[in-house]
């Protein structure tokens, strides 16, 4: 698959730079995990990619096009961000929140057309929230709200998905169902996803590639399906001191535990 997202020498931060000189590329169909300790710059990286920070430099290209020259709406057609925390929208029904996902394409104050309604219906189905469409968003549980936000990102229809801890409020089955759904969305190779995760076992299970972040710098890269156990152990053990990676003999799956 061709390169979908290319990041060249990205610096991003606030008063000072936090993310330092990151360069990487993500191909169509790829599910790339970002791992790093609290405060290592994962959320800042995603904000920097979507031009959500004033203090940034470097290039972000989507399908070869430099995003710096684009308006925020044009960028939102190319990259969809699920922030780590999304404010609730009191008074909005789930259906309306999902319809907002089409804003980059349709602009404000347009009644949803049949295409939007179909995209909303499909995303609600995919993320298991079809039964919640007419509920007030503010009256949902945290996990239900997270599923709504994930469905909104899918409705946005951008080829690059940037998801910051997308499973932080999801229960165990919903977490795996979310990864199955995401893998399905990526299967055609027309999208790619960069996903911030805290659970290394989950990252090893679902991501084709992992980027390891330490103090805003890229300190390693792993391909779980191709990298040997010792290399995985040494890279993840460096990031998370005391972490032990084990392999199940029958399935070959990797598991993690703390010493
Ligand atoms: P977590 O796993 O806790 O979500 P993270 O890897 O996403 O952490 P960031 O939120 O990117 O970390 O924060 C990286 C650094 O930037 C931290 O030192 C943090 O204190 C700082 N930082 C984050 N947000 C701001 C802000 N709005 N203003 C100033 N500094 C910030
Ligand atoms: Mg964060």
- CA angle, residues 152, 224, 50, in degrees to nearest 5: 35
Ligand 1 centroid, distance to 41 Cα (angstroms): 6
> What is the pairing mode between strands 160-164 and 192-196?
parallel
The per-residue pLDDT for 259 is 86
Query: What whole-number distance in Å separates Cα of residue 196 and Cα of residue 162?
Result: 8
Give residue for tokens 């998905």.
161
**Percent of the chain with pLDDT strictly greater than 90:** 88
Q: Which of 206, 158, 203 is nearest to 182 (CA)?
A: 206
Q: Which residue has the tokens 């298991």?
A: 128
Q: What pLDDT is recorded for position 148?
A: 97
Residues 6 or more apart whose Cβ sits within 8 Å of residue 112: 99, 102, 106, 120
- Whole-number pLDDT of residue 194: 98
**Ligand closest to the CA atom of residue 199:** 1
179 Cα to the center of ligand 2, angstroms: 19
Q: Give me 121's structure tokens.
A: 């219906």
* Nearest ligand by distance to the CA of 42: 1
The DSSP 8-state label assigned to residue 85 in this structure reads S
Q: What is the pLDDT of residues 38-61, one digit of tens each?
A: 999 999 999 999 999 989 999 999
Pocket lining: 149 vs ligand 1, CB cutoff 6 Å: no
Is any ligand 1 atom within 6 A of the Cβ of residue 47?
no
For the chain, the average pLDDT equals 95
Ligand nearest to the CA of 35: 1
Task: Specify the ligand 1 atom closest to the Cα of 40.
Answer: 6
Compute the distance between CA of residue 36 and CA of residue 115 in angstroms, rounded to an integer.
39
Give φ, ψ of 71 to 5 degrees.
-80, 160
User: Which residue stretches of the chain have pLDDT < 50?
Assistant: none
Interatomic CA distance for residues 5 and 154, integer angstroms: 17
- C-beta of residue 26 within 8 angstroms of C-beta of residue 192: yes
Residue ID of nearest Cα to ligand 1 atom 23: 44
pLDDT at 68: 95
What's the pLDDT score for residue 175?
98
User: What confidence score (pLDDT) does residue 111 get?
Assistant: 79
pTM: 0.96
Q: What is the reported pLDDT for 24?
A: 98
Using a 6 Å cutoff on CB, does residue 40 contact ligand 1?
yes
Quickly tell me which residue has 């076992």 as its tokens. 201
Q: State how far the Cα of 176 lies from the Cα of 23, in Å rounded to an integer.
A: 29
Ligand 2 center–CA 116 separation, angstroms: 31
Q: pLDDT value at position 1?
A: 73
- Give the sheet arrangement for strand 79-82, strand by strand: 79-82, 160-164, 192-196, 31-35, 209-214, 217-222
Cα distance between residue 26 and residue 211, in whole Å: 11
Residue 138 burial (CB < 10 Å; 0-12/13-18/19+)? exposed
């Amino acid at each position: 698959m061709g390169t979908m997202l290319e990041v060249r020498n990205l610096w991003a931060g606030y008063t000072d730079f936090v993310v330092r000189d990151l360069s990487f590329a993500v191909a169509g169909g790829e599910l790339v995990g970002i791992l790093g300790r609290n405060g290592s710059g994962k959320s800042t990286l995603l904000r920097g990619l979507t031009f959500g920070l004033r203090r940034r430099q470097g290039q972000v290209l989507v399908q070869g096009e430099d995003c710096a020259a684009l308006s925020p709406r044009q960028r939102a057609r190319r990259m969809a961000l699920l922030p780590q925390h999304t404010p609730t929208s009191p008074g909005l029904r789930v259906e309306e929140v999902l319809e907002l996902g089409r804003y980059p394409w349709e602009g404000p104050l347009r009644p949803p057309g049949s295409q939007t309604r179909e995209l909303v219906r499909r995303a609600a189905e995919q993320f298991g929230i079809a039964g919640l469409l007419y509920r007030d968003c503010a009256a949902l549980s945290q996990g239900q709200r997270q599923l709504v936000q994930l469905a909104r990102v899918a409705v946005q229809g951008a080829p690059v998905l940037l998801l910051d801890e997308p499973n932080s409020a999801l229960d165990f089955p919903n977490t795996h169902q979310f990864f199955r759904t995401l893998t399905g969305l990526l299967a055609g190779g027309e999208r790619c996803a960069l996903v911030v995760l805290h659970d290394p076992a989950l990252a090893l299970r679902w991501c084709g590639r992992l980027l390891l972040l330490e103090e805003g710098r890229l300190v390693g890269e792993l391909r779980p399906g191709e990298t040997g156990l010792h290399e995985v152990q040494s890279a993840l053990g460096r990031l998370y001191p005391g972490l032990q990676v084990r392999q199940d003999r029958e399935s070959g799956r990797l598991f993690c535990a703390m010493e």
